[in-house]
Structure formats: C-alpha cells, structure tokens
Structure 1
Amino acid sequence: MYIRSTAAISAQKTFGYVPFLTEPIEYTGTRLSAIEPDYKDFVDPKLARRMSRIIKMGVAAAMQCLKDAGIEMPGAIITGTALGCQEDTVSFLTRIIELQEEMLPPTAFIQSTHNTVAAQIALMLKCHNYNNTFVHKGISFESALLDAIMLLKEGDANEILVGGTEEMTDTAFKILTRLGLYKRWPLSNFELYNTKSKGTIGGEGAVFFLLNDKPSTENLAELVSTKTFYKPKSNADIEKQIEAFLAKNNLTIQDIDLIITGKNGDLKNDAVYEALDGSLFANSSKAYYKHLCGEYPTSMSFALWLASNVIKRGEVPAVVADGEIKNKSPKKVLIYNHYQNSYHSLMLLSAC
C-alpha cells in the first residue's frame, strides 16, 4: 500500500505548502490548539457557518489531501475518531438543559454524531462510494487505516481517503484534567520530556492520507504493515509483539533506520518507552512528536504524517530528534505508540 499524499492541521505549521517543521511553535500551558487555515478556500462561507471546528478542520485537510494527489473523487472515505464532534455534543446537551427539553434546534444534534466529518466530505464531493467511521478509542485511526488496507487488497476500492480527527473543547479538557490525563500547571511544550511528572499536554488535529496500491515515484512512502494489540501483560510481551511484527515483514530491529515513539511526558506512560530504550531500542535512532501536536486518541495520524514526510524529504527535523540520528535520510521507519498503555499500535513504512 502506498501513501500518495497527506495533509495535516495541527498545533504546528503543517498545513499547505510550508517548510518541514523548521519553525516549531512553542506553547506555554497544558493544551495545544490547532492552527486553523482560511476555510473559505475549501468551504463555502454559508456552509461553514453551520460547521463546528472539527468538521471544518476535517473537510479542509481532506480537500487539501485530494488536491495534492490530483484526485477529484476518492474510491472510499474512511475516518477514525474517539470522541467525535465534542463541540456540537456539548452544545446540544447544554441546550437540553437551558430549554428544558423543549423546542430544541436540531443542527447541533445532527452534527454531533461521530461520522459527521466523513459524511460532510462525501456531501461536498457528491461521493456515493464506501463511507465509514471507526470509533475505537485509542486505535480509531488505526482501525480506519486497516479497513482501507483491506479494501485495497480485496480490490473493492482504490484511491482511498483515510483520516484521523479529534478536537479539544473546554469541557472535555476540564474533565480529562480532573481524571489525571493532563498536567495541572503550565509548562513549555519544548520542556515536556524534561518534566518527570504525572500527566501530559492535551492536543487536537485533523490529518488525512490518500492510499492506493500503485507504485509511483510521486508517492510519499510505502505503508508496509500495521498492527494493533491490547493491554500487553508486561514490557517483555511488548518486545515480543514488536519483534514478531518485524519478523513477519522479514526484518529485525537493526534494519530500521528510525523509530518514532509516542512519548508524551507522563511518568507512567513513558515508562514503557524507557524500558524499550534500554533493551530492544537501545542502539536505534529515535524520534518523538507529541510535544508538537499534544496527546489525543488519534495522534497516531500525526505520527504517520511525520514519518511519510521524513521518508519523502530525506530528512529528520531537529525538533523531533530524540538523541543522535545515525541515518540522516531514513528509508525504513517504525512507529510505535500506545494510548494509556491499553491500545498499542505499530506501523512500518519504507521508501518507495
């Protein structure tokens, strides 16, 4: 499977034709907000008025991805999101209380469903092809990607648009902070990994990819394989899963030029990666990314965007390097991420 194009809206300058993370943005706080583009280039202003932020971000990223690939009509549209359109959900629930369950305006309810982003993209494109949304918590994007791979292998669709979307609302941020997911005092995102404490920083974003099964020099990278596993028993079990994943693709850890990990600054979360750093990953070049986009259930989509560009551009941005990078132009990249040590994901990419 090949990644033909990708577009990302994140807390960094990643959208459109911009330098590759040469001007990283520093934030001080416990939450990163996406840098939104000028939507009038992608959405009719009259339509945009009725769209929440996540719908506009998803539509813009999808349209830019299709434009970069030179594709007008995708063979399928598949998205992954854990929490869906939170802004519309909160708005609808608030109005239920305020209006005492009477005369409720339907717009917020209609747009609060998780599949709204994929549906809106299809409506704008007049696309009647396969359309699906996966809501699988920490592996929502990975599930969407797996569905796309199966469609391609079965020959049911080609030129498949796959995306991961997530937004952070004030309400959700307060609740998740109380649950201990985020740090309780402000800090620089550039100092995230130097602060050994509980919690991380919140994030959001919308990242889309166009997948096909046609080799081309214009493709960004080859998506060789992907795998998920749930609640491993121990760090040794995680090592076995990674080694088996590589062995299935006739590789060992020595064949990997760069490993992108999901470190997020949380003491408990990063203990898994640090254990691997002292064993399986000890002699490997490593990178991280969550100080740029924040932590959210579909952040793996940002990692895939990063890996695709690293391979295509033949460079590893200094801002993501975790120590010395031995091969400055990686050809084989492994991504390993876990969400709350329950949902574990692996992706293997290679140069075309």
Structure 2
Amino acid sequence: MDLYIKSLESISPQDTFDKSDAFPDFIERREPYFTCITPDFKKYIDNRMLRRMTKILRFGVATAKLCLDNANVMNPDAIVIGTGLGCLEDTVKFLKQIIVNEEYLLNPTSFIQSTHNTVSGQIALLLGCKNYNLTFTQSDISFENALIDAIMLLRDGDAENVLVGGIDEIVGESYELINASRCYKHTNHNRLSSDMFTLGEGATFFVISNNNSADCKCKIIDLNIINNIIDLKALHQELLVFLDNNAILFEDIDFVVSGINGLQSQNYIYNEFNSWFSNSNIVCYKSFVGEFDTAVSFGMYLGSKIIIHNNIPDKIILNRRNKINYSKGLVFNYTKDCNCSFILLSKC
C-alpha cells in the first residue's frame, strides 16, 4: 500500500520554514556547527507558552503546527517522532543545577523537559490530542524507526492521518564534548571534497495519510532499514532485494538523495552506492544542514520537494544526468554505526 504525504515542513539551517518557494538558496554556512534559521515563533505559538519553551520545543511545536495546518488536519490519529539526543538544552540546564546547587533545591522544569518524548508530549498537549503518541530514540536510525511505525499504523488501518517527524538540536556543550572526543572533525565542506564534516540540527515533520486526495504532494512506496552493513557486497544485495520487491530497476530511479557527509570512513560506501545509479541524478544535503541523528528526515523532505516541483537546484547536485522528469527518488543514508536505510518516494 502506498502512503501519501499531505504536507511537509522543516526548520533547518537553510531558509526552508513556511516558504512557498520550491527551494531555498542553499547557502554554505561558516560556523563551527550548523544552527537553524529561527522563524518568528510568535506567529505560530502563544507568547505565554513560548517563554517556557527551549529551542527544540519551539522548533518541534512550530513545525508540527504549520504542517498540520497545511494538511487541514486538526487532530492527527497518531504523533510519532524520532530523535537521537532529545532535549539537550534542558538536559544541560538540569545537570548544571545539580552541580551549582549541590543537589539541593533543584527546579524540576528542566528535568521534566529534558526527556526525549517532551516534544511529542508538548505537541499533543497543545492540540488536545489523546491519540497514539510515541517517540523513538534509536541513535542515528531514530527517524526511520518512527517512519516505520507510522507506516504500520496506516497500513493496518489503525490511523488515517499520522504526524511523523525527526528532530535534534545541538548546543555549545554537546559540540564541545563531541569535538573534545575527536570522534568527529569539523570544517567547511567545499562540496564534500574534505574528509571531515560539520554537525548540525533540524526539525522536519510530515503529515502522512493512507488516503490519496487532491492535496497530496507525493507518496512513500517503501522503506527499509538494514543493520550492521559493513561491506559493499551485502549492501548491494540488500538494495537489489529492495528494488525487486517494489518491481523497480536501477534506471527507474530518477534521483538519489545521498547522505554523504564528507566523513572518510563512510565516503567509500556512498561513492560506490552512487555509482550503481549511473543514470540517476545524485543529490547531497548534509553539506548544507550538517550531520545529526535525524538528518535523514531532511533528506526525505528534500526528495519530496524535488518530486513536487520537478526540479533539482544546481547547488545540491553532485552528478547531473539528462533527466526531464523527477518522478521517483531514493533517499539513502549510511550511519556511523554501520546502519543504512532506503526510503523510496514517487510522484502521486
């Protein structure tokens, strides 16, 4: 059963939020890490509630609200969110209070809002939604697991409209810890010619339905997650099975949204994968939004936008092929934990 994307919204390091234009300008930022362009939240969230919200809550609530409004869905049948690290800003605040106050007279607000499911809970409270509500936190495949859950709800007939999203934030303290550990390095991307990459953040939401209608933007044909892929032969075999299950050939894919991020340990996987689609356009996005656990949600957003507007901006293309129509796209992500995912998108 195909599932239909009724609306999509994203707050990201690019100017993507609440824009009628097809694509932003895709400007390469010049910071140690990517931070989101902040909209005027007063347009979307009551000012009295806004004061109590940290950055990630503002991102999540504003993006979810606008996404639901655009889909004309007042109350979704389910809210499913993926996040790798959750509410870091509140976590840091609470830990600092423990140290400064020597574990006495702690303000509970930061602790309450530090849990991973704070965003989905806050959205439900604001909507008055008492339906299915779940947050997935499986490191760098959190969004894919949330999307699988949404797909199962829709295909089993347990829901008609599901709000699904991926959200993560970065704060100075988390960046400093990651940087000090030397597990990642940062640099300006220069079109991914470097063997280093930049951390980032973002919030991307979709309203997905099992009913096709005139307002549907594009559709999800299939999704698959494969764990512990450490060699190209196994990856190629999994890809062949995935395409065969959907009766699709390599040449049927008009474009691939590649999660290539400039990290040398992953580049060879991405480069080889991209070479299998010799007739497809290869698109990149992490050089414009950064790497984070749910960055693939922005990849799916970008793939959907390409199908909706039948266009690929020059700035995000790695290999352009002679294609006129962009009706089928494959979003591919390979993570630091050797997990990979395929998301197959198509025109309605």
What band does the TM-score fall into relative to the shorter chain? over 0.9
Equivalent residue number for residue 7 of structure 1: 9
Structure 1: runs of 5+ lacking an equivalent = none
User: Which deviations, in whole Å up to 9, do the C-alpha atoms of 1:232-255 show, x marking residues without a partner?
Assistant: 131111111111111110111111
Paired position in structure 2 for 1:207 = 204
8 A Cα contact 1:80 1:133, kept in partner:
yes
Counterparts of 1:269-348 in structure 2 under 5 Å? 269-278=266-275, 280-348=276-344
- Tell me, in whole angstroms, the C-alpha distance in 1 between the residues paired with 2:241 and 2:38: 40
Contact 1:316 1:328 in 2 (8 A): no
Residues 4-153 of structure 1: pairs in structure 2 closer than 5 A = 4-153=6-155
- 1:193 paired to 2:189: no
CA distance in 1, matches of 2:248, 2:10: 30
SS at match of 1:29: coil
- How far apart are 1:181 and its partner, in Å? 4.3
Deviation (angstroms), 1:18: 4.1
Residues of 2 paired with 1:338 and 1:323: CA distance? 19
Assess if the C-alpha contact under 8 Å between 1:263 and 1:270 holds in 2: yes
String of CA shifts for 1:29-70, please: whole Å, max 9, x gaps. 331100111111121112111111001000000001011111
Is the 1:22–1:317 contact (alpha carbons within 8 Å) kept by the matching residues of 2?
Answer: no
Structure 1 counterpart of 2:340, one-letter code: H
2:116 aligned partner, one-letter code: H
Letter of the structure 1 residue corresponding to residue 193 of structure 2: N
- Supply the distance in 2 between the matched residues of 1:22 and 1:43 (Cα, whole angstroms): 24
TM-score, length of structure 2 as denominator length = 0.96
Alpha-carbon distance in 1 for matches of 2:32, 2:291 = 10
| Deviating 4+ runs (over 4 angstroms) | none
Q: CA–CA distance in 2 between the matches of 1:170 and 1:275? A: 35
What is the CA distance between 1:25 and its match in structure 2? 2.1
| Aligned-partner Cα distance in 1 for 2:247–2:181 | 42
Identity of aligned residues (%): 37
Structure 2 equivalent of residue 248 of structure 1:
245
2:254 touches 2:279 (CA, 8 Å); kept in 1?
no
| Secondary structure of 1:287's aligned partner | strand
Q: Does 1:259 align with 2:256?
A: yes
SS at match of 2:292: coil
The AA in structure 1 aligned to 2:16 is T
- 1:124 and 1:62 map into 2 onto residues whose CA distance is 11
1:114-166 per-residue CA deviation (whole Å, 9 max, x = no partner) reads 00000000000000010000001111011111101111111111110001000
Q: Report the Cα distance in structure 2 between the residues aligned to 1:115 and 1:237, rounded to whole angstroms.
A: 34
CA distance in structure 2 between the aligned counterparts of 1:260 and 1:241, rounded to whole angstroms: 18
Q: Does the CA-based 8 Å contact 1:30-1:183 persist in structure 2? A: no
Q: Supply the distance in 2 between the matched residues of 1:159 and 1:194 (Cα, whole angstroms).
A: 41
- Pick closer, same or farther for the CA change 1:252–1:74 going to 2, 3 Å: same
> 2: CA distance between counterparts of 1:8 and 1:170?
22
**Map 1:136-175 → 2, pairs under 5 A:** 136-175=138-177
| Count of matched residue pairs | 346
Partner-residue secondary structure (3-state), 2:192: helix
